[in-house]
């Protein structure tokens, strides 16, 4: 019996956390010459968890529902970093404007017995006038809901971009 318990605990310890892919990023030296950012619109991401006890009354007794809009999260982050968010592209400011686009590149099962799913995202900053790629980052993370996955991955990707050394 002790061997079975030990085996179960060991299996739990070794499968409790899947390894996340490392965050990758690329930043051009010209990144900090820009003052404005136009963010491509994104849809909201909603995720939920629930806990129920079917043997009592078959009703949901707990859980969490979270919603996040990637555009809103990225705009708040960029405003903290000193960028001005434009509601639309301004032809007079194109030389100082970046266009930010976001996309999800997949989901992966991680965690204990694959009960958690990670979300992989990519963020790109492009020059509004030339469409040249100025910065990009790809990150993966997971939380208790899909909205958490997206929120955490965006945070990691933006942190990676802004942790790069500045070239003046």
User: What pLDDT, in 10s, does the model give residues 107-145?
Assistant: 565 665 455 676 788 999 999 999 999 999 998 876 767
Ranking 29-33, 89-93, 117-121, 149-153 by mean pLDDT, the lowest is 117-121
- φ, ψ at 82 (rounded to 5°): 95, 5
Q: Is residue 69 part of a domain?
A: yes
125: CATH:
3.30.160
* Total tally of structural domains belonging to the chain: 1
Question: Does some domain include residue 3?
Answer: no
What is the residue range of 124's domain?
Answer: 22-162
Quote the CA–CA distance of 87 and 96 in Å, as a whole number. 15
Structural tokens at position 135: 């910065």
List, for residues 66-76, the tens digit of each pLDDT value: 677 888 889 99
CA distances (Å), 106 to each of 43, 109, 117, 149, in order? Answer: 16, 10, 10, 11
160 vs 154: CA distance, rounded Å:
10
Taking a C-beta distance cutoff of 8 angstroms, is the pair 101, 108 a contact? no
Specify the length of the chain in residues: 168
Q: Is residue 51 part of a domain?
A: yes
Burial 145-156 (b: 16+ CB within 10 A, else e): bbbbbbbbbbeb
Separation of alpha carbons 156 and 168, rounded Å: 24
Q: Is residue 132 part of a domain?
A: yes
pTM here is: 0.73
């Amino acid at each position: 019996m002790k061997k079975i318990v030990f085996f179960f605990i060991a299996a739990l310890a070794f499968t409790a956390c899947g390894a996340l892919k490392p965050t990758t990023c690329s930043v051009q030296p010209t990144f900090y010459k820009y003052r404005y950012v136009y963010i491509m619109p994104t849809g909201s991401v909603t995720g939920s968890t629930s806990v129920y006890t079917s043997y009592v009354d078959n009703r949901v007794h707990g859980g969490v529902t979270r919603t996040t809009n990637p555009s809103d999260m990225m705009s708040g982050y960029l405003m903290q970093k000193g960028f001005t968010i434009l509601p639309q592209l301004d032809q007079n400011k194109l030389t100082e404007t970046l266009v930010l686009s976001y996309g999800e590149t997949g989901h992966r099962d991680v965690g204990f017995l694959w009960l958690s799913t990670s979300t992989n995202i990519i963020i790109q900053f492009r020059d509004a006038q030339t469409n040249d790629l100025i910065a990009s980052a790809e990150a993966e993370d997971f939380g208790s809901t899909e909205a958490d996955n997206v929120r955490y991955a965006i945070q990691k990707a933006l942190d990676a971009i802004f942790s790069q050394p500045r070239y003046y």
